[in-house]
Amino acid sequence: NAGVTQTPKFQVLKTGQSMTLQCAQDMNHEYMSWYRQDPGMGLRLIHYSVGAGITDQGEVPNGYNVSRSTTEDFPLRLLSAAPSQTSVYFCASRPSTTYTEAFFGQGTRLTVV
Amino acid sequence: GEDVEQSLFLSVREGDSSVINCTYTDSSSTYLYWYKQEPGAGLQLLTYIFSNMDMKQDQRLTVLLNKKDKHLSLRIADTQTGDSAIYFCAERKDTGRRALTFGSGTRLQVQP
């Protein structure tokens, strides 16, 4: 049981490049979410999904796209990276029967230069 | 302003009790959480409390909730050097996205 797995752990992008942050969970959780963590701030919700085929915007969705084709995977796409997207990104999951995000990935540290 | 506020830093001596405080503004919050983040790691859920409770105890952790003042605290008894981390308070509203809103975190430093 691996829990929530994020890849890569570190990434440096040039402004304008695109990339996909991967998130996978093996717990059959319906609910998955992406947060970003900036220095001196708490985590802020980017996008979330309540199940395969269903996604919705969080607090800071601009510049990011998501899709949920399977229960296990919830990738986050940056179409045209900007320096303001330099941050640490966390993926989380939980069963739909609970309200507690108890399972977080280890994070992806992204730097956009 | 911030929905959830925490002080930035707390330093205690090993063996003492630590008290980390948090205030929130939304009275519709139904669940309040404490997470721990160690350097380079993801968030670990420590404990949570329902809004209809005043106190919850779990081994060395005690959570106190004052709904009238919208104040939440986490007390760590017999603080150890392994407790050094950033502690985040978070609330879940019962409306809208029902997503978590986090405070900015309190860095706890435990001096040997």
Q: Best interface-test mutation with A: which of B94, B104, B106, B107 has the largest number of A CBs within 10 A?
A: B104
How many other CB atoms are found less than 10 A from the CB of residue B75?
17
Which residues are CB-neighbours of B68 under 8 A, at least 6 positions away?
A: none
Strand, helix or coil for residue A69: coil
Residue A102 has its nearest CB partner, among B40, B45, B97, at B45
What pLDDT was estimated at residue B97? 61
> Using CA atoms, how far apart are residues A35 and B46, in angstroms rounded to an integer?
19
Better pLDDT: A100 or B92:
B92
Which residues between 29 and 88 in chain B have a beta carbon less than 8 angstroms from any beta carbon of chain A? 30-31, 33, 40-45, 48, 88
DSSP state of A40: T
> For chain A (length 113 residues), average pLDDT per consecutive 10?
87 97 95 91 90 94 97 97 96 84 89 97
> Using CA atoms, how far apart are residues A42 and A111, in angstroms rounded to an integer?
18
What pLDDT was estimated at residue A78? 97
DSSP secondary structure string for all residues of B9-48: EEEEETTS-EEEEEEE--TTEEEEEEEEE-TT--EEEEEE
Contacts of A9 in chain B (CB under 8 A): none
How large is the average pLDDT for residues B28-50? 87
What pLDDT was estimated at residue B1? 40
CA distances from A16 to A9, A33, A54, A85, A112 (A): 20, 24, 28, 11, 9
Task: Report chain B's C-alpha Rg in angstroms.
Answer: 14
**Among A17, A30, A8, A19, which residue's Cα sits nearest to residue A105?**
A8
What pLDDT was estimated at residue B41? 83
Mean pLDDT of chain B: 89
DSSP state of B60: T
pLDDT band at B20 (very low <50, low <70, confident <90, very high): very high
Lowest mean pLDDT segment, chosen from B39-48, B56-65, B93-102: B93-102
How large is the average pLDDT for residues B101-109? 93
What pLDDT was estimated at residue B93? 72
Total residues found in chain A within this entry:
113
pLDDT at B22 over 80: yes
pLDDT band at B94 (very low <50, low <70, confident <90, very high): low
